């Protein structure tokens, strides 16, 4: 695959109404390969600090895709996605308890999950739609449960680059989210500077240097942990 083909592939999720549902298993594998590397490793490191070790916990991974972050969960894992091909890719990794379903109409009982992860998901939606999803997911999370997710900052470089390419990243400023969840305990970690796809074309050492120097000034994304 050429660099141009990689770029085209990485931008192919601009149809946010259902970006992955109709993908073939081969396209899922190509996509997954391109998502590995510096960004994935850093995402995993940050997310790992937001999880709490509990062998008896039951975790939900909303929009789980091919199950890239299933290994972060302790105890029982449940993955939900609307793409059959993504779930098939997850099954090929040996991941079980996968559900084909709609994130805005979760097919679960109230207060089932100790930890709920929804990653690279809500930034595709307007604020009103995001709040609709939160009302849904909070119902299935235990009283003392944890919500872990990420946001693309609307004043960041990736937000404006995505807009230029016609990719819909609605995002939200971290301050707005602080107001939304003023009554909940929360941890926020800022990360990255450049659009995620650009890191595929930058040597890891250079990428690390860029982020180390500029993340505090112009963070691209924030990683959140909310406690009910």
Q: Indicate whether 106 pLDDT > 90.
A: yes
Kindly indicate the confidence band of residue 109, based on its pLDDT and cuts at 50, 70 and 90: very high
Kindly indicate the confidence band of residue 11, based on its pLDDT and cuts at 50, 70 and 90: low
Report the number of distinct structural domains present in the chain. 1
Kindly indicate the confidence band of residue 16, based on its pLDDT and cuts at 50, 70 and 90: very low
Q: What does the pLDDT read at residue 72?
A: 94
Alpha helix segments (H runs only) across the chain:
3-10, 25-35, 38-50, 84-92, 127-140, 157-164, 174-180, 204-214
**3-class DSSP state for residue 147?**
strand
Q: What does the pLDDT read at residue 219?
A: 95
pLDDT digits (tens, 9 = 90+) for 157-169: 988 887 787 766 7
Q: What does the pLDDT read at residue 126?
A: 79
In which domain, by residue range, is 153 found?
3-227
Compute how many other C-beta atoms are within 10 angstroms of the C-beta atom of residue 38: 19
Q: What is the DSSP string of 97-122?
A: -EEE--TTS--S-TT-EEEEEE-S-G
Q: What does the pLDDT read at residue 21?
A: 67
Q: What does the pLDDT read at residue 2?
A: 62
Residue 71, domain CATH = 3.40.50.150
221: β partners: 152, 191
Q: What does the pLDDT read at residue 36?
A: 73
pTM of the predicted model, to two decimals? Answer: 0.87
């Amino acid at each position: 695959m050429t660099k141009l083909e990689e770029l085209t592939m990485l931008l192919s999720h601009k149809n946010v109404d259902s970006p992955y549902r109709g993908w073939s298993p081969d396209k899922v594998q190509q996509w997954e390969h391109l998502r590995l590397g510096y960004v994935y490793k850093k995402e995993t490191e940050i997310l790992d600090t937001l999880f709490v070790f509990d062998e008896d916990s039951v975790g939900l991974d909303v929009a789980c895709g091919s199950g890239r972050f299933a290994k972060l969960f302790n105890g029982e894992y449940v993955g939900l996605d609307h793409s059959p091909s993504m779930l098939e890719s997850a099954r090929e990794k040996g991941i079980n308890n996968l559900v084909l379903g709609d994130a805005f109409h979760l097919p679960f009982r109230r207060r089932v999950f100790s930890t709920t992860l929804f990653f690279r998901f809500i930034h595709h939606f307007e604020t009103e739609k995001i709040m609709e999803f939160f009302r849904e997911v909070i119902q299935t999370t235990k009283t003392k449960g944890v919500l872990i997710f990420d946001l693309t900052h609307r004043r960041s470089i990736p937000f404006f680059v995505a807009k230029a390419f016609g990719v819909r990243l609605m995002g939200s400023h971290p301050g707005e989210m602080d107001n939304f969840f003023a009554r909940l305990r929360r941890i926020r970690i800022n990360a990255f500077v450049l659009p995620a796809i650009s890191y595929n074309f930058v040597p890891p050492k250079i990428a690390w240097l860029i982020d180390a120097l500029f993340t505090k000034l112009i963070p691209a994304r924030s990683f959140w942990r909310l406690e009910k």
